[in-house]
Structure 1
Amino acid sequence: MKTISLSICSCILLTTVAFAQKLNTLTSKEKKDGWELLFDGKSTDGWHTYHTDKASNAWSVQDGALVFNPAADKSERGDLVTDKEYENYDLTYEWKISDGGNSGVIFGVKEDAQYGATYETGIEMQVLDNINADDRHTPNHLAGSLYDLIGSAEVSKPKAVGEWNQARILYSGGQITLWLNGVKTAEVKKGSEEWNQLIANSKFHDWEGFAKYDKGKIALQDHGDVVAYRNIKIKQL
C-alpha cells in the first residue's frame, strides 16, 4: 500500500512539475495580469524578417524555440522582427547561444526604408558567449549588457553555452532596466544626463535615428551565429 501511494504521489509531482514548466504558454495569472505571448512555440506567426513581409527560412521553429541558421542562403538572412510595434512594456524571454556566438534582442526598432538595419534605431540587450565570442573583451558588450552603453563582468553571468538563460527588459517612460538570470545588468533613463553621456561615448554618438523611437518593434538579431529564443512574453504597461 505504501509503495503504491508513493508511486502515485511521485507521478502527481512529476505531472505538476511538467505542467508548470510547459514552454511558450501563459498561466491563468499571467493572462489575468495582461501578459501576451509573442511566440506560440509552433510557428513564426507575428514575426517577419526585417524589410520583408514574412519570416525567412533562416528562422525556424525547433523543439519549441525560434532558431537562427547562419548556413541559410544570404537572401534568407536578416533579423526577425515583430509585426506589431510596442511602447511601455515588460518583456521576458529565454535565449541559448552557440559556442562563440553573438546575437541580441533589439527594441524600439523603426522599420522604415531609410534604415537598413534594426540596430540603426533600436537599443540592444546583448546575447553572447562570454567565454569564446570575439566581443567578450569589451565590458559593455557582454551578455545582458545594454550594448555599447552599460555593462560589466561583475553582473554579466550567463549560463554555459547550450543552456537556457532568462532575460528581462523593462521599458517604460524612457526608463530602461535589464536583468539576466535574475541579476540587474543595466538601468538608465533615456534623455537623462547619464544617458546623453553614454551615447556621446558610444559608437552611436552620431547616429541620427538611434534610440529615437519610443514606440517600435522588437527584433531577434541575426549576427551570423546559431541562436535560439523561446518563452517570449510581453506585458504592455
Structure 2
Amino acid sequence: MYKPLYTILTASVLAFSCGGNQQEIVVDDSEFEVVESEWISLFDGSTLNGWAKYGGGEVGKAWKVQDGSIYLDATNKADWQTGDGGDIVTTEEFDNFHLKYEWRIAPNGNSGLIFFVHEAPEFSYPWQTGLEMQVLDNDGHPDAKIPTHRAGDLYDLIESSEETVKPVGEWNLAEIIADNGELELYLNGVMVVSTTMWTPEWEALVAKSKFKDMPGFSKFKKGKISLQDHGDEVWFRNIEIKKL
C-alpha cells in the first residue's frame, strides 16, 4: 500500500498476423505517460523557505540553517524567552502522506515533530491540534521516565513497541505514514507504533491522555507539519514527504 506506484505504458511497434499477412501499427509514445508518486523536499538544505512561525510571521532567529540541517539554537535563552524561537510549521497542509526525516538531539534535550496541525487563532500551540512523534534524549531527560514520552513514541498516547533510538547526538531516521486513518511510525527502520485514528477506540485513547480537555486535538484530517521548540538544541534534516 505504501510503495511507490509505477504505471508504465510503453509502446513503439505492434506487430500481428492476419490471414498470413503481417501488419505493423506504429503507436506514438507521446500518448502514454509514466505515473509515479514523487518525494517532495520540505527543506532545501540552505534556507527556511516553506516554513513560518506558528501563529504567523517569519521564522524566529533562534531557528537557523547549519550544515544542511534546520537547527534550533537554544543556547541563547534570551532569544527563546523573547519570542525569537517558537514552533515552526510548513506553509502547506497535508492529509495522506509518507513523511521521512532525520533528527538528533542535544544531551538532556526534548523536542518533537507534530503533524495534522491546524493553525487558527483559538489554538496557541501546534500540540493543541496535532499529533507528536517524540524526539528525546532517553538517557538524560526526565520525560523518559514516563511511558509514551520516550523517543519514537506517539506522544502521551502510544508507547513504542521497541526502543530503536540511537545514542544522544547521533542522527535518527524517522518516518510517519498516515493513510486514511491508518497511522504507522518508524524509527531507524523499525515500525514502533501502529494504530487507527478517528475510531471509538482512538477517542477512548485520547480521553485517557493529557489532551482530553483540548477540543481540537486530533480532530483535523489535514494539517501542517511542525518542528517543536522545547527550549533545547535540536537538528532536523532530509525532510521529505510523499503524498498518498
Task: Provide, for residues 18-75 of structure 1, a one-character-per-residue CA deviation record: whole Å limited to 9, x for no partner.
Answer: xxxxxxxxxxxxx953110000000000001111222110100000000001222422
CA distance in 1, matches of 2:36, 2:218: 31
Of 52, 59, 62, the residue aligned with 1:55 is 59
Match of 1:3 in 2: none
Structure 2, unmatched stretches of 5+, are: 1-34
Of 54, 75, 81, the residue aligned with 2:89 is 81
Match of 2:19 in 1: none
Higher strand fraction (1 or 2): 2
Match of 1:17 in 2: none
State whether residues 188 and 194 of structure 1, in contact with CA within 8 Å, keep that contact through their aligned partners in structure 2: no
Match of 1:11 in 2: none
Match of 1:142 in 2: 150
1:197 CA displacement: 2.2
Corresponding position: 1:198 with 2:201? no
Task: Provide, for residues 132-180 of structure 1, a one-character-per-residue CA deviation record: whole Å limited to 9, x for no partner.
Answer: 111000120110000000014x512211111100000001112111000
Corresponding position: 1:227 with 2:231? no
2:52 counterpart letter in structure 1: H
Q: Residue 211 of structure 2: SS of its match in structure 1?
A: coil
CA RMSD in angstroms comes to 1.4
State the 4+ residue runs in structure 1 displaced beyond 3 angstroms.
none
Q: Residue 75 of structure 1: SS of its match in structure 2?
A: coil
2:140 counterpart letter in structure 1: N
Q: Which deviates more from structure 2 when the two are superposed, residues 173-182 or residues 68-77?
A: 68-77
Corresponding position: 1:119 with 2:127? yes
Match of 2:41 in 1: 37
CA distance in 1, matches of 2:207, 2:60: 36
Of 123, 127, 138, the residue aligned with 1:130 is 138
Aligned ranges 1:149-188 → 2 under 5 Å: 149-152=157-160, 155-188=162-195
Task: Provide, for residues 107-138 of structure 1, a one-character-per-residue CA deviation record: whole Å limited to 9, x for no partner.
Answer: 00011111000000000000000101110001
Aligned length: 206
1:33 counterpart letter in structure 2: S
CA distance in 1, matches of 2:126, 2:203: 21
Match of 1:68 in 2: 72
Aligned ranges 1:8-23 → 2 under 5 Å: none
State whether residues 106 and 124 of structure 1, in contact with CA within 8 Å, keep that contact through their aligned partners in structure 2: yes
Q: Percent same amino acid among aligned pairs?
A: 46
Structure 1, unmatched stretches of 5+, are: 1-30
1:162 counterpart letter in structure 2: G
1:222 counterpart letter in structure 2: D
2:126 counterpart letter in structure 1: T
